[in-house]
């Protein structure tokens, strides 16, 4: 697989914006949509680095329903309106 597009959505919840990646336990929060998106990008980068450093990234993505991810697969995050 050359590229995996991960979809994220931002919702208003409990007085703040929450950005979440579909099918992964990752989220970011903020006072604006942009802040929530930026927080999610930061969280996702940290998660990728942690999983990749422990050689678990491919397995974690496969468990979430994204099989076939390899070391050279590009991960792309897209926010839906």
* DSSP character at residue 22: T
| Cα four-point dihedral sign 20, 28, 79, 12 | positive
Distance of alpha carbon 34 from alpha carbon 55, whole angstroms: 31
**Where do we find the tokens 């949509």?**
33
Q: How far apart are CA 35 and CA 19, in angstroms?
A: 9
pLDDT band per the 50, 70, 90 thresholds, residue 72: very high
Q: Where does 1-81 have alpha helices with state H?
A: 33-53, 57-63
On the question of pLDDT at 43 being above 90, the answer is yes
For the segment 9-34, what is each residue's pLDDT rounded down to a tens digit?
A: 999 999 999 999 999 999 999 999 99
**Is the pLDDT score of 1 beyond 90?**
no
| pLDDT recorded at residue 81 | 78
Give the domains, in start order, of the chain with CATH numbers.
Answer: 3-80 (3.30.160.620)
Mean pLDDT over the full length of the chain: 96
- Residue in the block written with tokens 């468990």: 63
User: What is the pTM (predicted TM-score) of this model?
Assistant: 0.93
């Amino acid at each position: 697989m050359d590229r995996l597009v991960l979809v994220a959505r931002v919702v208003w919840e409990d007085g703040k914006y929450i950005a979440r990646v579909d099918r992964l336990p990752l989220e970011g929060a903020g006072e604006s949509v942009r802040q929530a998106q930026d927080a999610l990008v930061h969280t996702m980068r940290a998660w990728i680095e942690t999983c990749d450093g422990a050689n678990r990234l491919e397995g974690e993505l496969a468990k979430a329903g994204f099989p076939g991810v390899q070391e050279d697969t590009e991960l792309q995050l897209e926010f839906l309106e």
